Amino acid sequence: MSELLIDTAGELLALPRTGRRAVVMTMGALHEGHATLVRTARELAGPEGQVVVTVFVNPLQFGAGEDLDRYPRTLDEDLRIAGAAGADAVFAPSVEEVYPGGDPQVRISAGPMGERLEGATRPGHFDGMLTVVAKLLHLTRPDLALFGQKDAQQLALIRRMVIDLNFPVEVVGVPTVREEDGLALSSRNRYLSPAERQTALALSRALFAGQDRLAAQAALRARAEAAPASDERATALARLGEIRASADAHAVSAAGGGLPDAVRAAARHVLEEAGRHEPPLVLDYLALVDPKDFTEAGPDFTGQAVLAVAAKVGTTRLIDNIPLEFGAHS
């Protein structure tokens, strides 16, 4: 389409379809992270396909005391960003359009996974999120739906819903977009003062510290395996000049926790330091979880995991995560 279509009344089904349709669901206040989703959608849909961006601040996923009223609403700028990134249409319905009878009596339950981490902190949040995602999937009828990996638990739940309820759509996760200093892009970053922003950088630094510990430990174990079989691993590492790493290996072994606990400990150290900053970081949770169900990774965990963190800085609550791969011999 040559001109961006603005739809507020659910007329998207009338659009002629000559290729695949991809949808990017947002709550507005678009930034470069959203633009990356739209550009990826454009690439996947192809020149003959359609890219639809939805802009809807969903009241069902805001709990008591959360920031529904002050959540930024910047539709004119959203339209500019969506169009520049390659969207063909923006669906920006009113609350009355999405929920014509008021709050829906029937909602989708997120189940046990929706009660963990973000769900424990924000009861009912994921039920509201899944309910509106289901409605928007019905209204936009996409072949592809793209979501950011920054909201890892949300992405996992949407994937589960699509499988469990047989939605005919492919869910695509797009890597987190970060600012130059490492802070994950979020519409809520605009609430941070300069001092609060400096403290908030601890979230990404903690995640990268955990990632570094995983990589370092994997390299050390590889070195130890290459050492003479008659030597104990710690001795072999020490002979290779890795005195500090050898001490780390002993500490982890003595704690009985294994590598996942070492990764958690490295990240937690950064967060505890930030808790002494001014203003302080107030940790909500740090978790290393299996992305299939968001249960904690055990000491012998192998496969892909998600290291996730949530914290408040001032009055602003932020989340972040990174994927990690634990090999059989990590």
The catalytic residue positions are: 34
In angstroms, the CA 21 to CA 43 distance is 11
Q: In degrees rounded to 5, what are phi and psi of residue 317?
A: -100, 130
CB burial of 13-25 (b: ≥16 within 10 Å; e: otherwise) equals: eebeeeebbbbbb
**Cβ proximity of 176 and 204 under 8 Å:** no
Over the Cα atoms of the chain, what is R_g?
22
Those residues with Cβ within 8 angstroms of residue 11's Cβ, 6 or more apart along the chain or in another chain: none
CB burial of 176-197 (b: ≥16 within 10 Å; e: otherwise) equals: bbebeeebbbbbbbebbeeebb
- Residue 187 amino acid letter: S
- Residue 1 amino acid letter: M
In angstroms, the CA 188 to CA 198 distance is 15
